[in-house]
Amino acid sequence: MPQTPSGGAGHGATATDGGLMSIGTVLNVLREEFPEVTISKIRFLESEGLIEPQRTPSGYRKFSVGDVARLGHVLRMQRDHYLPLKVIRDHLDAMERGEAAPLPVVGRQRDGEPVLEPAEGPTAARVGRTELLAAAGIDEGDLKEWESYGLLAPLEEGVYDAEAITVAVLVSELGRFGIEPRHLRVMKAAADREAGLVDQVVAPLKRHRNPQTRALAQARTKELAALTVRLHSALVQTALGVRLP
């Protein structure tokens, strides 16, 4: 598979076996830019056809520098542009064929279907129901069940926050271990309490008339959200007596 421009991921990698890397090495490389990436996420992207690592005779994955660069590109397009995986795959394939491939974004809906438009200006952090199902690899029954437990909820006009894709993928992955949606209600309740605490801290800034102060509120919200996620992860690891790679 040809190398895809990475914009950063893959620099400083320690390669072995003729320039190939294990999935653990790839994880360490990617986490410099994507702290939340997991081995399960990498395997999921492989199952969706986004990458095609080589395999050793014993079945172990071996990644080239080009594979790592492509992974970084995929993760970046998900994070920064909120694109469904199918759209990302088609975009990268077009680039590798040497075709002009302007980056699309998820825009408005027409007749209940999403409209993908060339990227111009800010990207809308919203996805339609169809994109959510496709990107997470789930069906309508799964989504309805998860909504009934409050794990996912549509916004106005039936669209979802783009982060719903991440939630859906993680709920699906946990399901492989026998953790059912009903078991995750306690995690959702804890997340709501954490969000309420952050909102309480930044509320005075949000109400300010000065646009710069309101912009500061947004930045402060992101900063506090990142800190609470890190704290939550550390507390879970401490309670379980484990350390993630």
Q: Per residue in 18-74, pLDDT tens?
A: 578 999 999 998 988 888 889 988 999 998 888 999 999 888 999 998 888 889 888
The pLDDT value recorded for residue 115 is 43
Q: Delineate the domains of the chain, giving CATH numbers in brackets.
A: 1-81 (1.10.1660.10), 104-179 (1.10.1660.10), 183-240 (no CATH)
Exposure string for 118-155, b = 16+ CB within 10 A, e = fewer: eeeeebeebbbbebbbbbbebeeebbebbeeeebbeee
Can you list the residues of the chain whose pLDDT is less than 70? 1-18, 82, 98-125, 245
The pLDDT value recorded for residue 214 is 75
The pLDDT value recorded for residue 147 is 93
The pLDDT value recorded for residue 2 is 44
DSSP letter at 182 equals G
